Each structure stands twice: as structure tokens, then as C-alpha cells.
Amino acid sequence: MKTLRIALVPVLTFLAVAALGAQQPPPPQPGQPPEDPLGRVLFPPELVMQHQQEIGLRPEQRATITKAIQDFQTRVVDLQWRMQEQSQRLTTLLDKPVVDQTAALAQVDELLGVEREVKRSHLTLLIQIKNALSAEQQAKLSAARAQATR
């Protein structure tokens, strides 16, 4: 059991660091704002909700965005189940006294594939939100975000 823990720690640490690194922008340099190219051009649902009156969000836009969020949440719940299943399979492979490297790496690929689908689903949501907004609304949200980061 101790051998399993020793073997799992580096793998799980690697996966956690890779997942965090992919989700978070690099730390800003002193005196410079953080560089997040996607964050500059896309709008998270919370930002739209916070500023819906300021930007004049119309009921049909709200309905479109709400549906996109609901579809995303449904999809991600399924993906979370799949990710948990793939993680358990990887743990089972790594739990053996001698690990089948080919099988373990194939399982890592499966797990990373599900993670990719989660990220793709999130980006799809953000694109759908942006496409539901007019250019004027997008400009107002960009200004509100810039004001909040000062």
C-alpha cells in the first residue's frame, strides 16, 4: 500500500499541476496586468449577470444565455462522471506491483481526452455567450471588467 502511495503521488501531482496550469493564467509580472488572451475577449456568465441592466440585456438574450449555461452544466456533469471513471481505471492500473506502462499511458490519454472535452465545452459556452451579445454590449462588459480590475 505504501508503494502505491509513493507511485501515485508523482502521477497525481503531475495531473493536478497540468490541470491547474491549463486553467490559470501565468502570474503577472510586477507592474503589469496578467495576460489572459481568452479572458480579454470572452465574457463569463457571472460578468454578464452582474451587469445585465447596465448592458441592457434583452429577455431573448437572457434566455439564449441561460439555455447555453444549462446545456453546459448538463454536459459537464456527464463529463465529470466519465473523468472519475477514467481516474479510477488509472488508479487500478497503477495499484499493481508492476505497472503495465503501455496500458497506464493509454489510460492517461483517455483521462486527458475527457479533460479536453470539459475545456472545449467551457469554451463553447463562452463563445455562445459572446455571440448572444451585441458589439455595444460587449464593449460595455469589457469596460466594466477593466474598471473592476483597477
Residue ranges covered by each domain of the chain:
2-7+40-148
pLDDT digits over 80-93, tens only? 999 999 999 999 99
Confidence (pLDDT) at 150:
76
Q: Which residues of the chain have pLDDT under 50?
A: 1-26
List the alpha helices (DSSP H) in the chain: 2-23, 37-41, 45-50, 59-94, 101-132, 135-148
Task: Answer yes or no: pTM beyond 0.85.
Answer: no
DSSP string, 12-24: HHHHHHHHHHHHS
